[in-house]
Homo-oligomer: A and B are copies of this chain.
């Protein structure tokens, strides 16, 4: 079982990242920090005669790295009640590779398992629920199992450390992942 941590934050050492480390403490995993890569937003060419054209950026490398893993922990801050642009671009570009004959992307994705971490303010445990539903629809569309979602209340750097409920869930996931790894 190979684990990746796909981090959509634009800040270093942010609250989403800290919460992810609680989930992954003591486990081997690949850190995929999306801001380390140049990833273009999608240009929707689904309906162009020639279809999607190759894009000169790092996305294909990131996708290939991502696809080597079985369990993915996705983390994003909630910006304006949605996921970060970096993480959204990561999913949007799936549209291109779902049509790329070199890949069988849907089949590959359907073998994976996702955990979702969201951190934010403005009553996030309610206002981020539509974002949880969006993640569910994304994973459901490609047949990927959504094993958990967790919303942490945190705005300023470090504030997540006061959300003892979120930490309790993160530790529980950590325990689950360790058990799966040993199974």
Separation of A10 and B40 alpha carbons in the complex (Å): 13
Which of A50-58, A60-68, A91-99 is the interface stretch?
A: A91-99
Produce 1/0 per residue, A116-158, CB < 8 A to B: 0000001001110111111011100100001011000000110
Chain B: CB-nearest residue to A135: B81
- Residues from chain B with a CB closer than 8 A to the CB of A137 are 80-81, 122, 127, 130
Separation of A169 and B10 alpha carbons in the complex (Å): 29
- Residues from chain B with a CB closer than 8 A to the CB of A91 are 80
- Residues from chain B with a CB closer than 8 A to the CB of A122 are 137, 141
A134→B136 contact, CB < 8 A: no
- Let me know if A175 is at the binding interface, CB within 8 A: yes
B89→A138 contact, CB < 8 A: no
- Let me know if A44 is at the binding interface, CB within 8 A: yes
Separation of A81 and B140 alpha carbons in the complex (Å): 11
- Residues from chain B with a CB closer than 8 A to the CB of A129 are 129-130, 132-133
Chain B: CB-nearest residue to A9: B44
- 7 tightest CB-CB pairs across the interface, nearest first? A130-B130, A130-B133, A41-B85, A168-B172, A81-B137, A168-B168, A81-B134
26 A–B contacts from the bound complex (CB under 8 Å): A10-B43, A11-B44, A42-B79, A42-B85, A47-B157, A80-B91, A80-B137, A80-B141, A81-B137, A81-B138, A82-B82, A85-B85, A85-B89, A122-B141, A125-B148, A126-B133, A127-B137, A129-B130, A130-B131, A130-B133, A130-B137, A164-B172, A164-B176, A165-B172, A168-B168, A168-B172
